[in-house]
């Protein structure tokens, strides 16, 4: 038994030196999460990405794999987030005529919504006595991961805390947008999609595509514009105000 444990330990150490184990664990966690999500009849409050994250965390704990070890192996997955985000330009192109018709409301809404998302996150965290690192980690919580990581590096936050904030924000935003849409009787997919993209980034965009292609396109637009605006303004604003 001891010899078997030693052999397994050596195998795990070897695999940790390559991306193989991190990739395998990530894929298994995601596909199992999708199966559970479908079994639960696709609840908005429990998307596959949340389930996959919980399953992956449990697997890393059981295998005694630290987050830095996993992160090193899964680095290429993080790299692929950027081209995946760029690929959302395809549905945007398909809906360009609808976007042109609403460019003025969009131009007004996105900067205001992105600014408010940062203000209330920093305000609540500051009122609860959060440190500068926590504030920096939560500031880009409404921005899609590839852009948020870049912002986080500029303002000095924690990547792991920031990713947790992104996950919670996406899930809660999708849940509340669904609830508000039902409560207010809103049926315009363009408005629903834009709201999901601005507030729920990638997770909200996944939810928007479940509604319709039009909602998904407008969610992609909201997510992209929010990320660009926040990336350009947030580091400069925080430095100017000397908040962190």
Task: Convert the pLDDT of each residue in 185-196 to its tens digit.
Answer: 988 999 999 999
Distance CA 87, CA 191 (A): 22
Res 1 pLDDT > 70: no
Residue 111: per-residue pLDDT? 93
- The residue whose two tokens read 């991190």 is 22
Distance CA 112, CA 135 (A): 20
Helical ranges in the chain per DSSP H = 2-16, 20-39, 48-62, 67-73, 75-86, 89-94, 96-101, 103-127, 132-138, 145-155, 159-184, 189-211, 213-241
Q: In this predicted model, what pLDDT tens digit does every residue of 142-176 receive, in sequence order?
A: 898 888 888 988 888 888 889 889 988 998 898 89
Q: 61, 112 in Cβ contact below 8 A?
A: no
Q: In this predicted model, what pLDDT tens digit does every residue of 99-131 receive, in sequence order?
A: 888 888 898 999 999 999 999 889 999 999 888
Distance CA 212, CA 177 (A): 15
Classified as helix, coil or strand, 187 is: coil
Residue 11: per-residue pLDDT? 57
User: Does the CA dihedral 234-237-239-241 come out positive or negative?
Assistant: negative
pTM > 0.75: yes
DSSP assignment, residue 130?
A: -
Q: How confident is the model at residue 9 (pLDDT cuts 50, 70, 90)?
A: low
Q: In this predicted model, what pLDDT tens digit does every residue of 12-55 receive, in sequence order?
A: 555 555 677 888 889 999 999 999 988 988 887 788 888 898 99
Q: 140, 149 in Cβ contact below 8 A?
A: no
- How much is the mean pLDDT over the chain? 84
**Residues sharing a CB contact under 8 Å with residue 98, sequence separation 6 or more, in sequence order:** 190, 214, 217, 218
């Amino acid at each position: 038994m001891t010899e078997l444990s030693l052999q397994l330990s050596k195998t795990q150490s070897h695999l940790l030196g390559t991306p193989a184990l991190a990739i395998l664990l990530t894929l298994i966690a995601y596909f199992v999460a999708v199966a559970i999500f479908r079994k639960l009849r696709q609840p908005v409050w429990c998307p596959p990405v949340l389930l996959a994250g919980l399953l992956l965390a449990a697997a890393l704990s059981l295998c005694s794999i630290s987050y830095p070890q996993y992160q090193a192996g899964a680095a290429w997955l993080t790299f692929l987030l950027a081209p995946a985000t760029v690929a959302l330009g395809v549905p945007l192109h398909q809906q360009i005529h609808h976007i042109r018709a609403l460019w003025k409301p969009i131009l007004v809404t996105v900067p205001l919504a992105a600014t408010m998302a940062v203000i209330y996150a920093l305000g609540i965290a500051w009122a609860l006595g959060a440190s500068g690192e926590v504030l920096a980690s939560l500031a880009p919580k409404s921005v899609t991961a590839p852009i948020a990581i870049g912002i986080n590096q500029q303002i000095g936050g924690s990547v792991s805390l920031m990713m947790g904030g992104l996950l919670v924000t996406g899930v809660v935003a999708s849940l509340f947008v669904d609830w508000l849409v039902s409560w207010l009787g809103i049926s315009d997919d363009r408005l629903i999609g834009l709201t999901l993209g601005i507030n729920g980034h990638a997770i909200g965009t996944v939810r928007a595509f479940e509604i319709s292609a039009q909602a998904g396109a407008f969610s992609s637009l909201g997510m992209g514009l929010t990320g660009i605006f926040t990336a350009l303004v947030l580091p400069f604003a925080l430095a100017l105000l000397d908040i962190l």
